[in-house]
């Protein structure tokens, strides 16, 4: 059973008697350790299988773990340990013991649709504008509170000047929870929340599960949020037989509540804890690991570790900078075609920081007949927010398009429900008039409030159509900018202000970039989009290049990896650059992306990138300076790209040009101005050169900003 383990894995599997943290680097065989640990406990009869609890984050990972344990134990595996996700385990507990919190055990679990319906009714009854408190915004905030174990009662007692407190949100939160209770329902966040509360308030219930589960194993510990962390600590508090696996260098989900301090503080939480490192990598070449190690060592929130491998030295990382994003995509397509001689499409992945980047890549790959598939998302033109804006454009072009009318009407919501829409569709069919025409002729036969909403919307479409007729250049880009503003769609996403909503806004604004400098008519543009969408539906996915965001790439591996958009503002992302902790997470994200590659890595960037229809100069990512230069092969283009997939000739550059050293003239006491937070005063400075950090107090709130990237000026 243990013969295929390396010395570090073997030591980890055989360790008992105290809590254990396994720091498992990328490609080091963490799943192998976990499954062998479980099998070894059972094989050595240290406890019965049913007394082992193994928790992971996805059903897929849990299923894989079960299968591997069964393979290791063979015929002696007649009983199984409890291997599940956090949520599945919590559902199991609540089904048995929810009554200890005076709640019935036969609860139902609300999905996102049912949650939205409940919030919708609450907002309607409270007469709250949906532009101020959207469903997604409210649900994201409530989820955040629950994952921080903040009940609605606790939230309501927060002081009014607390960073989290919002009086209206407090009322919505209370009504939402009361609504769940009255329907004998819980949501997914409640599973974690109530299980922790149950264990905290009922020592006897906690003791029952501590007795039942004498060994606790947790995968991806660096991704645990506050609730998950507390749940683990409660379960392990009696026996201390807790074995967690994770990697502080792969913590990339703070926006989902993951807290890197959970893994960094493991030894503080468990006084007798032992830490073992799995540093032998079985995935990548020596060169790739040297590049990744050189990058991640610049992070402060980590413990020293260095991946190594017995694999071959391998080829250098190739960096190539193009003029713009179209040439970047063309270069990637050309390289894929040349690599196809020795590799399959399915061996290749293209990673990018933002979903909006996929648009140009999709179009170029499709034009070169390179099959591709998207992981963790929809193709660009299939994304709901893009389809919403396309519905507006279709309606502006053709007011008889009822389906476009209905979709555009609902985003943002204008108070016209499904019952009214059904009546309009029936009336349209009976009269052979479009919904738009029914409104125009005042023949809707609806209540006054709904009729007014419909008239306002029809007026909006008419005004946008008239505005389009006045345009002479960049017509579609200007039209999209106008409709985003006048329709309230942009405001809706900005007010929501979640990572998902901001990502959607980036996708929408990418539409503005599509027709820049082409000056297409609206009808031609819509036809082109329809043709592109048709290509999306016909690609062969059996052997295809994988396109995905860097976040979705975690846990995966490919023979060849492209990382597109190695530029300031993309990687690291512009929303992260001013905050040291966020910059470290961006660096971890880059590290994760580098370590997905087994044999070859290609990094690309552009000089100028169209962002929201405007051309932006793009300096290369600061992370490129942090990658050891002897691992990089810098390629230059000898002649311009002609459009033919084999028309580029390259030459190598001997070394990478580092950015000029950063300096500043800020001092403690300086009054400064920031474009978002306004005026403030520097009350502390730390670090030197490009690592200089200013502590600035804005309206009583202190911010830590890296001066190299912070948009601050002296006043």
State the pLDDT at residue 646: 38
Task: Report strand pairing: 650-653 vs 632-637.
Answer: antiparallel
Most confidently modeled range among 229-243, 427-441, 475-489: 229-243
Distance, in Å, from the CA atom of 661 to the CA atom of 377, rounded to the nearest integer, reads 39
- How do residues 704-715 score in pLDDT, each as one tens digit? 777 776 668 888
Alpha carbon distance 595, 587 (integer Å): 12
For the question of residue 219 being annotated catalytic, the response is yes
Catalytic residue among 596, 609, 618, 708: 596
Please report the pLDDT score of residue 541 as a whole number. 67
Q: Nearest to residue 595, comparing CAs of 24, 26, 23, 25? A: 26
31 is catalytic: yes
Question: Residue 533: its pLDDT value, please?
Answer: 52
Reported residue count of the chain is 715
First and final C-alpha spacing in the chain = 68
User: Tens digit of pLDDT for each residue in 159-171?
Assistant: 877 777 788 899 9
Assess whether 250 carries a catalytic annotation: yes
Q: What pLDDT score was predicted for residue 623?
A: 94
Q: CA angle 635-638-640, nearest 5°?
A: 110
354 is catalytic: no
What DSSP string describes 245-274? EE-GGG---GGGT--THHHHTHHHHSTT-E
DSSP labels, 8-60: HHHHHHH--SS-EEEEE-TTS-HHHHHHHHHHHHHHTTSS-GGGEEEEES-HH
The token pair at 416 is: 């016209």
- In sequence order, the 6+-apart residues with CB closer than 8 A to the CB of 23 are 246, 247, 248, 275, 276, 277, 278, 303, 305
Examine the pLDDT at 690 and tell me if it is beyond 70.
Answer: no
Instruction: Check whether 536 has a pLDDT greater than 50.
Output: no
Question: Is residue 590 packed enough to be buried (19+ CB in 10 Å), middle (13-18) or exposed (0-12)?
Answer: buried
Is 637 a catalytic site residue? no
User: Of these residues, 97, 187, 190, 220, which one is catalytic?
Assistant: 220
Q: What is the 3-state secondary structure (H, E, C) of 271-338?
A: CCCEEEEECECCCCCHHHHHHHHHHHCCCCCCCCCCCECCCCCCCCEEEEEECCHHHHHHHHHHHHHH
Q: Which of 85, 134, 250, 444 is catalytic?
A: 250
- At 662, the pLDDT band (50, 70, 90 cuts) reads low
Structure tokens at 325: 């994003």
Helix (H, G, I), strand (E, B) or coil at 128: coil
Strands 242-246 and 215-218, sheet pairing: parallel
Q: Are 568 and 620 in contact, with CB atoms under 8 Å apart? A: yes
Q: Which of 30, 175, 359, 577 is catalytic?
A: 30
Tell me: the pLDDT tens digits for 117-158? 899 889 888 887 666 688 888 898 999 999 999 999 999 888
Cβ burial of 113 (10 Å; 0-12, 13-18, 19+) is exposed
In this prediction, residue 535 carries a pLDDT of 43
pLDDT in tens, 425-467: 888 888 888 888 888 888 887 888 888 889 999 999 999 999 9
Check residues 558 and 375 and name the one with the higher pLDDT. Answer: 558
Please pick, among 219, 330, 496, 510, the residue that the annotation labels catalytic.
219
């Amino acid at each position: 059973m243990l013969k295929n383990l390396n010395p570090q894995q073997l030591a980890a599997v055989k360790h008992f008697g105290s809590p254990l943290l396994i720091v498992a680097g990328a490609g080091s065989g963490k799943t192998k350790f976990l499954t062998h640990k479980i099998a070894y406990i059972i094989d050595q009869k240290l406890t019965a299988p049913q007394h082992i609890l193994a928790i992971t984050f996805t059903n897929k990972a849990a299923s894989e773990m079960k299968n591997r344990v069964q393979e290791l134990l063979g015929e002696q595996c007649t009983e199984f340990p409890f291997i599940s996700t956090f949520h599945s385990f919590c559902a199991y507990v609540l089904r048995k013991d929810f009554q200890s919190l005076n709640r019935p055990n036969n609860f139902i679990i609300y999905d996102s649709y049912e949650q939205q319906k409940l919030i919708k009714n609450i907002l309607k009854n409270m007469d709250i504008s949906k532009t101020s408190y959207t469903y997604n915004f409210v649900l994201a905030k409530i989820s955040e509170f629950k994952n921080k174990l903040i009940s609605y009662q606790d939230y309501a007692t927060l002081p009014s000047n607390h960073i989290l407190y919002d009086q209206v949100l407090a009322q919505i939160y209370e009504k939402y929870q009361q609504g769940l209770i009255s329907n004998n329902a819980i949501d997914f966040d409640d599973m974690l929340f109530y299980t922790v509360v149950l264990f905290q308030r009922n020592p006897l219930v906690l003791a029952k599960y501590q007795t039942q589960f004498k060994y606790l194993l947790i995968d991806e510990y660096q991704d645990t949020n506050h609730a998950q962390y507390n749940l683990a600590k409660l379960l392990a508090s009696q026996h201390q037989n807790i074995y967690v696996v994770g990697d502080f260098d792969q913590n990339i989900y703070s926006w989902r509540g993951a807290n890197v301090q959970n893994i960094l503080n493991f030894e503080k939480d468990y006084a007798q804890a032992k830490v073992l490192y799995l540093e032998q990598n079985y995935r990548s070449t020596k060169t790739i690991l040297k590049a990744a190690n050189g990058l991640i060592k610049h992070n402060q929130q980590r413990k020293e570790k260095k991946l190594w491998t017995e694999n071959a030295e391998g080829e250098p990382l190739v960096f190539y900078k193009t003029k713009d994003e179209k040439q970047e995509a063309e270069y990637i397509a050309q390289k894929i075609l040349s690599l196809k001689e020795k590799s399959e499409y399915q061996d290749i992945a293209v990673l990018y920081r933002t979903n909006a980047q996929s648009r140009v890549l999709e179009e170029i790959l499709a034009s070169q007949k390179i099959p591709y598939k998207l992981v963790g998302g929809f193709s660009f033109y299939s994304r709901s927010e893009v389809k919403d804006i396309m519905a507006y454009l279709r309606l502006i072009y053709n007011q008889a398009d009822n389906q476009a009318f209905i979709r555009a009407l609902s985003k943002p919501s204008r108070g016209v429900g499904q019952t009214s829409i059904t009546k309009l569709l029936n009336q349209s069919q009976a009269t052979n008039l479009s919904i738009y025409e029914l409104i125009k002729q005042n023949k809707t036969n609806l209540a006054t409030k709904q009729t007014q909403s419909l008239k306002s919307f029809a007026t909006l479409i008419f005004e946008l159509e008239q505005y389009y007729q006045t345009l002479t250049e960049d017509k579609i880009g200007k039209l999209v900018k106008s409709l985003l503003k006048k329709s309230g769609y942009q405001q809706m996403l900005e007010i929501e202000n979640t990572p998902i909503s901001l990502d959607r806004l980036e996708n929408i604004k990418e539409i503005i970039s599509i027709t820049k400098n082409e000056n297409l008519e609206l009808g031609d543009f819509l036809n082109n989009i329809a043709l592109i969408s048709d290509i999306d539906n016909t690609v062969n996915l059996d052997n295809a290049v994988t396109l995905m965001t860097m976040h979705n790439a975690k846990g995966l591996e490919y023979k060849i990896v492209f990382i597109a958009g190695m530029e300031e503002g993309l990687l690291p992302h512009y929303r992260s650059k001013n905050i040291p902790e966020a910059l470290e997470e961006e660096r971890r994200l880059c590290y994760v992306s580098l370590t997905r590659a087994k044999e070859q890595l290609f990094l690309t960037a552009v000089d100028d990138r169209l962002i929201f229809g405007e051309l932006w100069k793009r300096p290369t990512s600061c992370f490129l300076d942090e990658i050891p230069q002897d691992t990089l092969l810098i390629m230059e283009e000898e002649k311009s790209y002609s459009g033919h997939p084999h028309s580029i000739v390259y030459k190598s550059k001997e070394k990478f040009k580092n950015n000029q050293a950063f300096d500043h003239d800020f001092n403690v006491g300086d009054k400064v101005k920031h474009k978002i937070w306004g005026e403030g005063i520097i009350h502390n400075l730390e670090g030197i050169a490009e690592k200089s950090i200013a502590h600035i107090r804005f309206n009583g709130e202190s911010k830590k900003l890296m001066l190299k990237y912070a948009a601050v000026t002296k006043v």
